[in-house]
Chain A
Amino acid sequence: MRDSRVRKAIDTAIAQAKKRTQQRRAFSRDVIKLGARQTKQKLAVDMLSKAGLDFEKLATEAAEQHETFESALRKMYAGIKKKRPKRKFLPAIYTTVPPPADATPSFPLCIFPAEKCSYSSPDPTFKHSCDASKAEMGLSLLSTNVGGLLGIEATPWVPPVTGSLWYRIKPPIGGTLAVIAEVLVTGSINVAVMTSSDLLDLVPSIGADARATLVVRTYQDGGTGIQAASQVIGELHRGGWGPGP
């Protein structure tokens, strides 16, 4: 009697284990199919159902998560206090008055403000500001909800946004021109990747990168051409792949 109860319990446990294995295999097959078919959103919804997930609930959760994320960022920003020692910039040491365009400049010298300002933006809805008289720029690059809620095989790339301040000088002699740009940066860079599901988090399916680079270039038409130096001032990566190119 006791043996038969034990055997029954073991058989039940084996049956449950087999069922779980079959479910896992079916789920894995669907993941592979998903990769092969790429844009089949319906398959993804079916897959979610098989995994016991509610599509509408996920959508709601994703929206809530996004709001929570933005709200958390605002709080983080509010918490950042300006604690900076008083700085001395190079103009305090060098000559500060920019030379007239037709005058022979006397080196070293510092130029402020800029002569011209420009920016290139792939999307007219991005809001930018640019003021050469203050040598200031406000730039923005935003790509949100990349790939939509399910984001199947989406590999979006937002064209870079570039903002530039321009200066001009005519060197009286040939030689090495040392260009020293002192740039104050205020703002933020952030990336977020989310699946809204602990189960889907196990699959390396999403990733995002963002980068900000400071570049100084000189152009001398009919002379030495284009020369440049740059430094990455901020770079972030999040997700299942390595940093992007």
Chain B
Amino acid sequence: MAGGGPGHEFHAWVEDLFVQVLYAQVLPDIEVAIEVSIELEGQGRSTFGHSTINLHTLPLPLPGRPGVKVAALCLNLTPTVIL
């Protein structure tokens, strides 16, 4: 989503489901730590005028709704087979 001139851009998620899959190679009997993370980034540039960046900010309270919820982390392991 993009806009060319001054103005606002807005996008809201309301319990939107995102599924991310990672196929990782693992060795046996060594513990694997799994991290599920959300990264928020923002930047503004201004030579004249001002810009505002908000990401899930407090002026928009959402009682009873967490920002990010990992509903489940599911795993399956397929052995490496050399025929």
Knowing A154-B46, A176-B80 are in contact, say whether A171-B29 is a contact too (CB < 8 A): yes
- Pick from B15, B29, B67, B78: contact of A176, CB under 8 Å: B78
Could you tell me how many residues of chain A have their Cβ less than 8 Å away from some Cβ of chain B?
A: 132
A149, B74: Cα distance in complex, Å: 49
Knowing A230-B20, A238-B9 are in contact, say whether A186-B30 is a contact too (CB < 8 A): no
- Chain A residues whose C-beta falls within 8 Å of the C-beta of B54 in the assembled complex: 141-144, 188-192, 210
Knowing A135-B69, A174-B27 are in contact, say whether A179-B44 is a contact too (CB < 8 A): no
**B20 in contact with A77 (CB, 8 Å):** no
- Chain B 13-49, CB within 8 Å of chain A: the 1/0 string? 1111111111111111111111111111111111111
Q: Is B83 an interface residue, CB under 8 A from the partner?
A: no
- Chain B residues whose C-beta falls within 8 Å of the C-beta of A90 in the assembled complex: 72, 74
A53, B27: Cα distance in complex, Å: 68
- Chain A residues whose C-beta falls within 8 Å of the C-beta of B49 in the assembled complex: 147, 150-151, 193-196, 200, 205-206
- Chain B residues whose C-beta falls within 8 Å of the C-beta of A127 in the assembled complex: 58
What's the count of A-B pairs with C-beta under 8 Å? 529
- Chain A 66-103, CB within 8 Å of chain B: the 1/0 string? 10011011101100101010010111001000000000
Residue of A nearest to B71 (CB): A182
- Chain A residues whose C-beta falls within 8 Å of the C-beta of B59 in the assembled complex: 70, 73-74
- Pick from B14, B33, B48, B77: contact of A152, CB under 8 Å: B48
- Chain B residues whose C-beta falls within 8 Å of the C-beta of A187 in the assembled complex: 12-13, 55-56, 60, 62, 67-68
For chain A, residues 211 to 241, give those with C-beta under 8 angstroms from any C-beta of chain B: 211-224, 227-231, 233-241
**A169 in contact with B32 (CB, 8 Å):** yes
Nearest CB in chain A: distance from B63 CB, A: 11
A146, B72: Cα distance in complex, Å: 38
**B26 in contact with A175 (CB, 8 Å):** yes
A44, B11: Cα distance in complex, Å: 33
For chain A, residues 121 to 174, give those with C-beta under 8 angstroms from any C-beta of chain B: 127, 129, 131, 134-158, 160-174
B residues sitting closer than 8 Å to A (CB atoms) are 1-60, 62, 65-80
